């Protein structure tokens, strides 16, 4: 039990006692970057590379202050082009009508609702990481929370697009909101579609506030650095000077007069924990309400009581997968990022994927079992058709991607090999899209075999969905370019130097007593 915590080693080295090699590497070269220790007496370091406050600021700010690599320009051009195609498809839809989609009579809800639910689901990881993991004091979240929250915001934007454009007569899109129209007809408050507007709207607002509020100190850091660079600038052309001024002004406006005073920090921490508390039930409520869209309808295969928690588990599952899809490449592309996003962070996320994937699998099994147990022939038929009917391939894909594929993370190799994690994360995203597709296409075979039909998407459906991916990526690339991608102040908080009580100084705690 006398193992020395690596945190203490870091403290000593940073105090200049022992200028040793880069921390982590010497811990155990056998396992990744040294954070994968399995000794229960050792807490692996959260930040590697002997980072001090200054080097954390320098590294994270450099990602926005330096010109982006060529990959960024290329990725931005590609994704904005794809986004443009998506926008054209939406324009075509608005000009022509929803007939351009593959909707037919039994399947009145097609890709639009599938995409909506998929995107909202993805938008769950950010708030889970920032709020729920914050409440559970999971310090490893500090290196990924900003990233995940940004992803959440952009995913919810993509999600919100689909209900807006699916209404057919776009000039009636305001019907989504509970505004009495000119005939004083109120929307149906007992419709879960209306609750969706409230749930998603609230979620978006709170997530945005949470993200922005958390970013204010970091924006102030960027502001101060922009001003300092402006003052120090001796050379440079007029253009560079103008850009510098715009930067300083923009960060200055966004940082709302933050001056790093201790009073600011005190208010900030209180506000942060309050917002985390408010955001936590929202993570559960949003997808529960989305699940009500289906579960309140008395359609076989839709009306089942496990839907709310099952949708929430699936949402966290897909959200974490999307964070990994973005994080694994970013970790390679940004210099120094691996010191913050350690192998252990990736491993933890993989484990959460396995847990939530297994929860989803548990729900599939329960649904199937209870459909049989219910002795309701419609219910049973709905599930037989799901698994063996015309959409068997979709059901098979869903099951394989969502239940089987995350089980590979039981192997240590799988959850500590970034390229492999990347592949599985994409597989999971595909699986979760198919889960919603399977649920929606349950409509194709309803009570009367005479009215059965087969739904297939048109090229407009496909390109609109691909376009939404482009919009998402465009927004995300802009975020990576212009905003602090990692929470600078929070990462500083979890390095050993930031602990005022220190890992070795418990005398003070003792005096305070119980």
Partner 1 sequence: MAHAPANAAALLSPANTTLARDAGRLPAIGLVVLGVAALAIAVAGAILGDDTAKKVALASYHAGFLFTLGLSLGSMILVMILHQVNAGWSATVRRQLENVMSLMPLCLAFFVPVAVFAPLIFHWMDPHHTAGDVIYDAKSAYLNTPFFYVRAAAYFAAWLILSRMLDRHSVRQDADGDRFRTAKARRMSSYGLLIMALTAAFAGFDWMMSLDYHWFSTMFGVYFFAGFIGAATSLCALLLILLRNAGVMEGLVTREHLHDLGKLMFGFTVFWAYIGFSQYFLIWYGNIPEETMWFQTRRTDLWMPYSVALAFGRFIVPFLILMPRPWRRSPLVLGVMAVWILGFHALDTYWVVRPTVETAGAEVAPTWLDIVAMAGPILIFFGVLAMRIASRPLVPLKDPRLGEAMVHKNYV
List of residues contacting partner 1 (CB under 8 A): 1-5, 8, 38-43, 135-136, 269, 273, 281, 284, 288, 292, 295-296, 298, 303-309, 358-359, 362-363, 365-367, 370, 372-376, 410, 503, 506-507, 509-510, 514
Residue (219 or 276) nearer to partner 1, CB: 276
Residue 9 or 75 with smaller CB distance to partner 1: 9
CB within 8 A of 21, min separation 6: which ones? none
Distance in Å, CB of 446 to partner 1, minimum: 16
Residues 6+ apart with CB under 8 A from 426: 321, 325
CB nearer to partner 1: give 116 or 292.
Answer: 292
Instruction: Closer to partner 1 by CB, 232 or 507: give it.
Output: 507
Task: Quote the least distance from Cβ 500 to partner 1, whole Å.
Answer: 10
Shortest distance in whole angstroms from residue 113 CB to partner 1 = 19
Distance, C-alpha 35 to centroid of its chain: 24
Q: How far is the CB of 310 from partner 1 (least distance, A)?
A: 8
Our CB check for partner 1 shows the closer of 10 and 429 to be: 10
Reading the block at residue 153, the tokens are 């915001």
Q: Report the nearest approach of partner 1 to the CB of residue 206 (Å).
A: 17
Nearer to partner 1, 169 or 501 (CB): 501
Query: What gap in Å lies between CA 393 and CA 398, rounded to an integer?
Result: 8
CA distance linking residue 202 with residue 154, whole number of Å: 15
- Alpha helices, DSSP H only, in 255-306? 262-295
Whole-number minimum distance, CB 300 to partner 1, in Å?
A: 11
- The distance of Cα 220 from the centroid of its chain, to the nearest Å, equals 25
Least distance (Å) between residue 129 CB and partner 1: 15
In sign, the C-alpha dihedral spanning 393, 161, 89, 425 is negative
Which is nearer to partner 1, 39 or 65 (by Cβ)? 39
Helices 70-96 & 145-165 angle (0-180, nearest 10): 20
Instruction: Using alpha carbons, select from 167, 248, 255 the residue that is nearest to residue 212.
Output: 255
Q: How far is the CB of 130 from partner 1 (least distance, A)?
A: 15
378 vs 452 by CB, closer to partner 1: 378
As measured in angstroms, the least distance from the Cβ of 116 to partner 1 is 20
- The whole-angstrom separation of Cα 264 and Cα 275 is 16
Minimum separation from the CB atom of position 377 to partner 1 (A): 9
**Rounded distance, CA 468 to CA 266, Å?**
40
CA proximity to 193, closest of 175, 171, 216: 175
Task: For the CB of residue 44, give the shortest distance to partner 1 in the complex, in Å.
Answer: 10
> CA 396 to CA 380: how far, in whole Å?
18
Using CA atoms, how far apart are residues 148 and 486, in angstroms rounded to an integer? 10
What is the C-alpha to C-alpha distance for residues 233 and 248, in angstroms, rounded to an integer? 13
How far apart (Å, rounded) are the C-alpha atoms in residues 366 and 259?
54
- Of 110 and 357, nearer to partner 1 (C-beta) is 357
Q: List, in order, residues 6 or more apart from 189 with CB less than 8 Å away.
A: 178
Q: Which is nearer to partner 1, 136 or 393 (CB)?
A: 136
Task: Write down how long the chain is.
Answer: 514
CB contact at 8 A, 275 and 213:
yes
Q: How far apart are CA 322 and CA 129, in angstroms?
A: 13
Neighbours of 398 (CB within 10 A): 24
């Amino acid at each position: 039990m006398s193992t020395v915590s690596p945190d203490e080693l870091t403290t000593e080295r940073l105090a200049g006692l022992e200028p040793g090699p880069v921390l982590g590497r010497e811990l155990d070269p056998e396992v990744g970057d040294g954070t994968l220790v399995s000794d229960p007496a050792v807490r692996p370091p959260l930040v590697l590379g002997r980072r001090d406050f200054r080097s954390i600021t320098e590294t994270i700010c450099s990602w926005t202050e330096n010109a982006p690599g060529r990959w960024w320009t290329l990725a931005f051009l590609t994704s904005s082009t794809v986004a443009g195609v998506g926008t054209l498809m939406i324009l075509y839809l608005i000009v022509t009508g929803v007939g351009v989609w593959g909707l037919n009579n039994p399947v009145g809800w097609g890709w639009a609702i599938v995409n909506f639910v998929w995107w909202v689901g993805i938008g769950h990881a950010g708030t889970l990481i920032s709020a729920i993991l914050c409440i559970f004091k999971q310090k490893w979240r500090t290196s990924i929370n900003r990233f995940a929250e940004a992803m959440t915001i952009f995913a919810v934007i993509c999600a919100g697009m689909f209900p807006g454009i699916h209404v057919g007569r776009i000039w009636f899109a305001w019907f989504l909101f509970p505004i009495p129209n000119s005939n004083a007809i109120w929307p149906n408050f007992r419709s879960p579609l209306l609750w969706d507007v409230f749930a998603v709207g609230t979620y978006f607002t709170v997530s945005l506030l949470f993200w922005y509020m958390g970013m204010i100190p970091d924006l102030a850091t960027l502001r101060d650095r922009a001003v300092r660079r402006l003052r120090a600038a001796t050379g440079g052309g007029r253009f560079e000077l103008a850009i510098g001024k715009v930067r300083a002004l923009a960060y200055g406006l966004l940082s709302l007069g933050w001056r790093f005073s201790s009073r600011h920090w005190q208010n900030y921490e209180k506000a942060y924990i309050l917002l985390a508390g408010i955001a936590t039930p929202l993570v559960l409520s949003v997808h529960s309400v989305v699940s009500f869209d289906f579960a309140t309808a008395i359609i076989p295969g839709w009306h089942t009581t496990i839907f709310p928690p099952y949708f929430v588990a699936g949402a966290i599952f897909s959200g974490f997968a999307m964070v990994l899809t973005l994080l694994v490449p970013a970790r390679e592309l940004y210099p120094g990022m691996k010191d913050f996003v350690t192998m252990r962070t990736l491993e933890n996320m993989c484990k959460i994927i396995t847990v939530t994937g297994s929860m989803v699998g548990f729900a599939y099994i329960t649904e199937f079992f209870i459909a049989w147990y219910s002795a309701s022939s419609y219910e049973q038929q709905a599930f037989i058709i799901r698994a063996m009917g015309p959409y068997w391939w979709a059901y098979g894909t869903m099951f394989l991607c969502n239940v089987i594929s995350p089980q590979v993370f039981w192997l240590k190799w799988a959850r500590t090999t970034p390229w492999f994690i990347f592949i599985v994360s994409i597989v999971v995203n595909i699986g979760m899209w198919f889960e919603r597709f399977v649920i929606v296409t349950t409509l194709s075979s309803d009570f009367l075999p005479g009215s059965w039909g087969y739904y297939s998407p048109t090229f407009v459906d496909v390109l609109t969905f691909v376009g939404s991916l482009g919009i998402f990526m465009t927004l995300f690339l802009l975020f990576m370019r212009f905003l602090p991608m990692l929470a600078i102040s929070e990462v500083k908080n979890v390095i050993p130097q930031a602990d005022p009580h220190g890992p070795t100084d418990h005398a003070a705690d003792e005096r305070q007593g119980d």
